[in-house]
Structure 1
Amino acid sequence: MTAHLAEPIAADARAASRRRPALGVLRWEVRKLVAQWRTRSVLLAGAIAPVVVVFVMRGQSRPPKDSLFGRYALDNGFALALLILGFASQWVLPLLTAIVAGDIFASEDQQGTWKTVLTRSASRSRLFGAKVVAALGFAVLTLAVVAVSTTAASVLVVGHQPLTGLTGQVIPSSAALRLVSESWLSMLPATLGFTCLAILLSVWSRNAAVGIAAPVVLGMVMQMVGSLGGVEAIRPFLLTTPYEAWHGLMTAPQFIGPMKEGLLTCGLWCVATLAAAFVLLRRRDITGG
């Protein structure tokens, strides 16, 4: 009887011992991110910059009528939050997440610390997984900070009047707040896709500048390609297209087909870029540093 009881206990102990190194590597990567000035600066900018933008927009004499919800932005806080959302999705969100993801692997090359980090009883697979989880977690946190700061500042400064939707329907304040929140949440798949793209470029280039700047440049190129005529066949596969899917939430009736397609597109981008990054890292010779 004692032997039978001891077997599952021993198995649990072995499983726990296998899990601890992976969790330890992840904790180490998170601590490194927390200690970096750029990480704290990005989060601080994500919290403060939207407030500054709201006050600047509130002081304008004329609304930006050439953009979605721009004509209502000076009189409706929800419209202003959506206006900032449209601007942020163009290049701000890819930049904010790439600042960390584009450097998380390249920094080890630039500092010559690969041999050091791989001697902490951590395999390349576990180290890769820990860095990816840390970068993706930072992307989620950054998006949440920007979304909460933008929405709160817009509503508190401008107001929470009923919102006029894209098809002219009047949306009550409570429903408008929910839709604005869902619109910001819809930015998550594409933001994670750009995070994975920055990780791939960080591993491939071994240069933080490339890992940070290249995703933003590629995002702008995708936006320009997506705005051209005659590219309907490739437009759904661009990583920037899912950033526009929130428009379907603001119509009556709603259409969420683009959001479903965007979720699949971003998933494919994440899988492809992370797989390529992992292969590159596995084949890398780190004997030089």
Structure 2
Amino acid sequence: MTTTLEAVAATTRTHPGLGAVLRWETRKLRAQYRAKAVLLGALLGPIPVVFIIHGQSRPPKDTLFGRFATENGFALALLVLGFASQWVLPLLTAIVAGDVFASEDQHGTWKTVLTRSTSRAQLFWAKALVASGFAVLVLAVLAASTIVSSLLVVGHQPLIGLSGQTVDPRSALELVAASWATTLPPMIGFTCLAILLSVWARNPAVGIAAPVVIGMVMQLVGALGGIEAVRPLLLTTPFESWHGLLTQPAFTGPLVQGVLVSAVWSLASLAVAFVLLRRRDITGG
């Protein structure tokens, strides 16, 4: 009986559950200077941007809410959102997600981790959950910093919506926060895409840079004419779904479609990445 209990305990220690692996991956991420730098940049980066835009003698009238950005904090926060969704958000999440698997190749730790600590499935989902959680955190920090700094520097006057309607400050704050929140599904999509590239390329540089380049290419393709059937399928299109929240009446069709498109991209990327990891030969390290 004692021998059996010892064997079970040894097996438990050798193959921890998903929760234990998740806690371990979280501790690893918290110890990374790269992740700390990203969070610090998300916290402090919007502040000089807000001051620079507010100090412009002429507002950027060629962008949504640009003409009101120098005199309305809500408009300025939405202006920054439009800029950040082009390449900043994919970059912020790819810095961690694009390295989360490739770092094991870089340090040659696959054999040690998989044969002594946990299964491939547990490690895969733990890393994917940690990377996704980091994406949620960095988006929340960036959004909060942008909104707070914009309101403190510029002010919280009533916002003029896209239909010309006047939105009171309280409702404007809710709409701006909701607008930033709508970028989470495509950001998770880019997180999963970065995970796929990290598994496939086994190179942190590719895992980090490739999602940003792909996002820029999608932005360019989406700006072309005559591709109305393709544009809704691009992962960058859901970044624009917040526009419908600022009209009167509001429309959420693009938002729902964006969530579905982002989910398809996320699930497809994770499925391919999981298959690649399961088939990988790790006997060499």
1:123 to partner: Cα distance: 0.3
Partner of 1:63: 59
The one of 112, 120, 129 equivalent to 2:125 is: 129
The answer to whether residue 74 in structure 2 is matched with residue 78 in structure 1 is: yes
Rounded to whole Å, the distance in 2 between the matches of 1:258 and 1:199 is: 26
Partner of 1:152: 148
1:59 to partner: Cα distance: 1.3
What are the within-5 Å matches in structure 2 for residues 8-87 of structure 1? 21-87=17-83
Rounded to whole Å, the distance in 1 between the matches of 2:221 and 2:56 is: 32
Please report the TM-score for the alignment, with normalisation by the length of structure 1.
0.93
Instruction: Return 5+ residue gaps in structure 1 as ranges.
Output: 1-13
The answer to whether residue 224 in structure 2 is matched with residue 228 in structure 1 is: yes
Instruction: Answer yes or no: is the 8 Å Cα contact 2:16–2:118 preserved in 1.
Output: no
1:20 to partner: Cα distance: 5.5
Structure 1 range deviating more: 52-61 or 100-109: 52-61
1:119 to partner: Cα distance: 3.1
1:246 to partner: Cα distance: 0.3
Rounded to whole Å, the distance in 1 between the matches of 2:33 and 2:113 is: 21
**Runs in 1 of length 4+ with deviation above 3 angstroms?**
17-20
The answer to whether residue 98 in structure 2 is matched with residue 89 in structure 1 is: no
1:92 to partner: Cα distance: 0.1
Partner of 1:104: 100
Query: Which residue identity is paired with 2:241?
Result: A
Instruction: Answer yes or no: is the 8 Å Cα contact 2:193–2:266 preserved in 1.
Output: yes
Query: Which residue identity is paired with 1:113?
Result: T
The one of 260, 265, 274 equivalent to 1:269 is: 265
Rounded to whole Å, the distance in 1 between the matches of 2:223 and 2:126 is: 37
1:116 to partner: Cα distance: 1.2
Query: Which residue identity is paired with 1:66?
Result: D
The one of 167, 175, 185 equivalent to 2:163 is: 167
Instruction: Answer yes or no: is the 8 Å Cα contact 1:21–1:121 preserved in 2.
Output: no
Q: Percent identity?
A: 68
Instruction: Answer yes or no: is the 8 Å Cα contact 1:50–1:153 preserved in 2.
Output: yes
1:256 to partner: Cα distance: 0.5
**SS state at 1:118 partner:** helix
The answer to whether residue 235 in structure 2 is matched with residue 278 in structure 1 is: no
1:57 to partner: Cα distance: 1.1
Instruction: Return 5+ residue gaps in structure 2 as ranges.
Output: 1-8
Aligned residues: 275
Instruction: Answer yes or no: is the 8 Å Cα contact 2:16–2:117 preserved in 1.
Output: no
Partner of 1:214: 210
Query: Which residue identity is paired with 1:176?
Result: A
**SS state at 1:287 partner:** coil
The superposition leaves residues 229-256 of structure 1 with CA deviations (integer Å, 9 ceiling, x where unpaired) of: 1100011110000000000000001111
1:31 to partner: Cα distance: 0.6
Rounded to whole Å, the distance in 2 between the matches of 1:32 and 1:248 is: 39
Query: Which residue identity is paired with 1:244?
Result: E
The superposition leaves residues 89-146 of structure 1 with CA deviations (integer Å, 9 ceiling, x where unpaired) of: 0000000000000000000001100011113431000000100000000000000000
The answer to whether residue 232 in structure 2 is matched with residue 202 in structure 1 is: no
Partner of 2:5: none
